[in-house]
Amino acid sequence: MSEFSDRPLRVGGRASAMALAQTEHVSRLLARLEPGLRTETVATSTEADRWPGELSRLGGKGLFVKAIDEQLRRGEVDLAVHCLKDVPGDQPLPEGLTLAAVLPRADARDVLVVPAGSAVTSPGELPAGATLATSSVRRRAQLLAARPDLEIVPVRGAVGSRLEKLDGARAGLRADGLVLARAGLERLGLTGRIVHHFGVEGRADGIVPAVGAGVLALQCRADDVPVTRLLARLDDPRTRAEASAERALLRGLRGHCNSPIAGHCTTEPDGRRTLRGLVFSPDGGRFVRAAASRGPEADPAALGTEVCAELLRQGARELIDSVQPG
């Protein structure tokens, strides 16, 4: 990688513990591709990271990536590491940037974590009226659809601080459980806290993941040919196809950050893809559901458009528009 013989490759990302683990993971992958390649992590505390309230009131999850993308466009970093679920799906990438690679998807399931010392091992063991903590509208709606008796309370902050609040080490949260993404806990080495995995099908004891859940996206400047070529070697075609289907669904629904939208694509061993999409009312009382499967030769984005059309036919637009952006 002679292009970077005189300086390290600058890897941009957020400053949270989880984000740092993600950028370090990418740096290790790059080092395996190009032995001797030096990397430098450029960590940024974004406006969304510092905001204590609901993200919808600030402008949504897109703020997690906006500041880092601006650094990338100014040439202050050479590539950006994003959680794909945080990259807005209803608008194009910033001018001059390209999605050079998506890494193989991590486990996209949501999980239940309970306070230290709790005997609860599944959602079914939670008593009537139990309190669960999550700030995700998507999780809230699906949890309430299965258990209307639950009280769902918001919680923000890094995963470590959320766990400390749950265990009582920090004030500010009294809950019987916390719903988180397994992928994040895995990246932090905290999977031992998991007591239950929710299925991804969205039936009974399940929670359909967010669009792009478990996927790390690597962006760079479109005219930076050496970096574009390097990152392309990390691209996972299967995950890119699944993400393309999911993001076409999200783009067609035109949902904002506060919309209770879920979408998850899976691939069978023979290459056949199945996309499941759901749109809920925030209280889980109403929802529309659609799914479609197509062979490996089919356009993944067309699969997303197909599922989107069926959701809209069932009334998804009304449900989405009934929720204010914040």
- Active-site annotation, residues: 86
Which residue in 68, 91, 98 sits closest to 81, CA to CA? 68
Q: Chain-centre distance of CA 272, in angstroms?
A: 23
Cα–Cα distance measured from residue 71 to residue 12, given in angstroms and rounded to the nearest whole number:
8
Give counts: helices (H), strands (E), the chain.
Answer: 10, 13
Cα-Cα-Cα-Cα dihedral sign, residues 299, 303, 304, 305: positive
Roughly what angle, to the nearest 10 degrees, separates helices 300-313 and 237-253?
30
CB 11 within 8 A of CB 42: yes
Cα–Cα distance measured from residue 282 to residue 261, given in angstroms and rounded to the nearest whole number:
10
